[in-house]
Structures are given as C-alpha cells and as structure tokens.
C-alpha cells in the first residue's frame, strides 16, 4: 500500500507540473507553425551557369530566419552574375525502400562548397535570397544549406553548425513541371528543357 501511494503521489506531481513546464519554456520560433530556420521557394527561371555542366535553369530560394536569434551564413557572388548570391550546399540522396521501375537515374550533382566568402547575418524574421542550379533538387535528392546561430564565442570548442533542408516537394507544381529532366534526374524519354 505504501508503494502504491508513492507511485500515485509521483504521478500526480508529474502531471500537475507539465502545464507549468510548457508555459515556462522559452519561445525560440517567431512563428511556431514553421521551423526555426527553413528554405522556401521564391521562383524558377533562366540562370547563368556558375560551373561547367550546370543547367541554364535555376531555382531562387529564400533562407528564412524564423528564430529569435540572428543566424550567420557564408555567401558568395559569382563572376557570371555578380548580383546573384550562392550559398554552400550539400546534395543528399533521398532514401527509398524500393526504387521506381522504368526510371533512368542521372548522376547526383555535387553542391557548392566554399571555404571563403562573406559572412552574412540574417536577423530574426528576415531572409536571404540565393540561387542554385535546378539540378540541385530532384525527386531523388534534396539539398542542405549550413548556417550557424550568431552566438558569443565560447572558451573551449565551437558553436554547432546547423542545416536547413530543401526538397523537391517544396517546389510548387507548375514550376517543378517546367524544370523537367534537368531537375528530376529521371524520366526516360523526357526532353531536356
């Protein structure tokens, strides 16, 4: 009986404390319905290639800081279009249990890598438009962009690097259809745009 009372007292204490914990938790996102940092589609269209072999179609994306803390990214301009901003990105294969039959697989492109560039701070509630080749996103792969929260330096170690991901499903239907074979990396017999 004594053990039963102890368990009941513990459960009662935990369940009555939960609402207080939820109310006292810190608010990190400005809009609680969205991730704290995310990439959203801006538009698709013609784009001057930056590297050899890139398609002439591109995506303009927006890195959005939905957190209460500024974030920092490493940005570059290009010699082909000085007004265009590019960010380092990594291409990641989408995991599928069973590959779709009848689809020709294109090689996955490499993302943009950079050890140099200008550090840009994106304040809370603000965003930065950047561009990638249309081939950086497809039904078979997505892309990730690194960022860091603008935090004070620590005496030992470094602050973590975070990743914002953008997938094919985040491109509206009509622009993704116009991107065609270059972006999908699939579709036997599809004509290149």
| Tens-digit pLDDT profile for residues 58-111 | 999 999 999 999 999 999 888 888 889 999 999 999 876 666 555 556 788 888
Q: What Å distances lie between residue 1 and 4, 8, 14, 15, CA to CA?
A: 5, 11, 20, 21
Greater pLDDT, 50 or 64: 64
The pair of structure tokens assigned to 180 is 């065609």
Output the pLDDT for position 90.
94
CA dist., res. 177 & res. 183, Å (int): 9
Instruction: Work out the mean pLDDT of the chain and round it to a whole number.
Output: 80
CA dist., res. 57 & res. 134, Å (int): 6
Q: What is the pTM of this model?
A: 0.74
Output the pLDDT for position 113.
84
Q: What is the mean pLDDT of residues 17-42?
A: 79
Greater pLDDT, 178 or 143: 143
CA dist., res. 98 & res. 9, Å (int): 50
Output the pLDDT for position 193.
30
Where do we find the tokens 């078979």? Answer: 140
The answer, yes or no, to whether residue 121 has pLDDT greater than 90, is yes
Nearest to 41 by CA among 193, 181, 189, 178: 178
């Amino acid at each position: 009986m004594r053990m039963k009372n102890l368990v009941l007292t513990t459960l009662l204490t935990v369940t009555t404390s939960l609402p207080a914990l939820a109310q006292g938790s810190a608010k990190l996102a400005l809009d609680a319905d969205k991730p704290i940092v995310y990439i959203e589609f801006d538009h698709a269209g013609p784009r001057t290639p930056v590297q050899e072999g890139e398609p002439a179609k591109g995506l303009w994306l927006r890195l959005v800081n939905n957190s209460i803390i500024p974030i920092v990214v490493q940005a570059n301009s290009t010699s082909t279009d000085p007004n265009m901003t590019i960010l380092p990105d990594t291409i990641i294969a989408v995991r599928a249990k069973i590959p779709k039959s009848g689809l020709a697989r294109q090689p996955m492109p490499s993302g943009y890598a950079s050890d140099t560039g200008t550090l840009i701070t994106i304040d809370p509630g603000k965003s930065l438009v950047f561009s990638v080749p249309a081939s950086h996103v497809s039904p078979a792969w997505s892309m990730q962009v690194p960022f860091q929260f603008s935090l004070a330096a620590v005496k030992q170690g470094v602050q973590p690097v975070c990743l914002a991901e953008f997938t094919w499903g985040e491109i509206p239907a009509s622009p993704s259809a116009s991107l065609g074979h270059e972006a999908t990396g699939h579709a036997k017999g599809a004509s290149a745009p």
